Amino acid sequence: MQNASKLDISIFKEFYDSWDELSFESQKIRAQYSNQTIDSLLAVADFVQLPPGVDKEQKTKIRIGQEFFRKAVISSYESQCCITGINEPQLLIASHIKPWAVSDESKERTDPRNGLCLNALHDKAFDKGLLTITTDYRILLSDKLAKAKMDETTKLWLLSYNHKSIILPSRFSPAREFIEYHNDVIFQH
């Protein structure tokens, strides 16, 4: 509590170990300023109704060709993440370099050269533009990821991949045009 007055410190100490008292005192003050009774304020707060959690059926689109794309990408990377080498199938994702939504349906969406095999964390970071790969197949981390708040061990682990080469696939190497699209449109420098 830098630059705190003696009164600030006294009030902090008074309520530090009794948050429930602080809450009650603040509700009393709130009631006083809104010309209500404390009972009426607390009665409303006590009976807030949560929305129900129900299931609902709806029509959804399915990606025809997605299963081919997934199998081709994961197989070409020999079932391992191209960044970390992790080979747990439940954590691997066939990630589009140029997103499905903006890819040409007949030429790009199912092209395995538009894919990387990534673990779930790196897939999410790649999709959000927090990391990319360069045309010489090196990992490039966004400054936003480098500045993100996290524990030191995780930060060192993530940053250790910056500028390292990805594990290249046995076939269907990532195509330059998809990488350039990701770098120009998705990546957050």
Structure confidence at residue 127 (pLDDT): 96
Kindly give the confidence (pLDDT) of every residue in the chain, 189 residues in length, as a single tens digit, with 9 standing for 90 and above: 567 787 777 776 766 666 666 666 777 788 888 888 767 666 555 545 666 777 777 776 666 667 889 999 999 999 999 999 999 999 999 999 999 989 998 899 899 999 999 999 999 999 999 999 999 999 999 999 989 999 999 999 999 999 999 999 999 999 999 999 999 999 998
Residue 161: the pLDDT is 96
Per-residue model confidence (pLDDT) at position 138: 98
pLDDT for 158: 93
Residue 6 vs residues 13, 15, 76, 124: alpha-carbon distances, Å: 11, 15, 67, 48
**What φ, ψ does residue 116 adopt, rounded to 5°?**
-130, 145
Cα 35 from chain centroid (whole Å): 45
Residue type, 136: D
- Give the pLDDT score at 3: 74
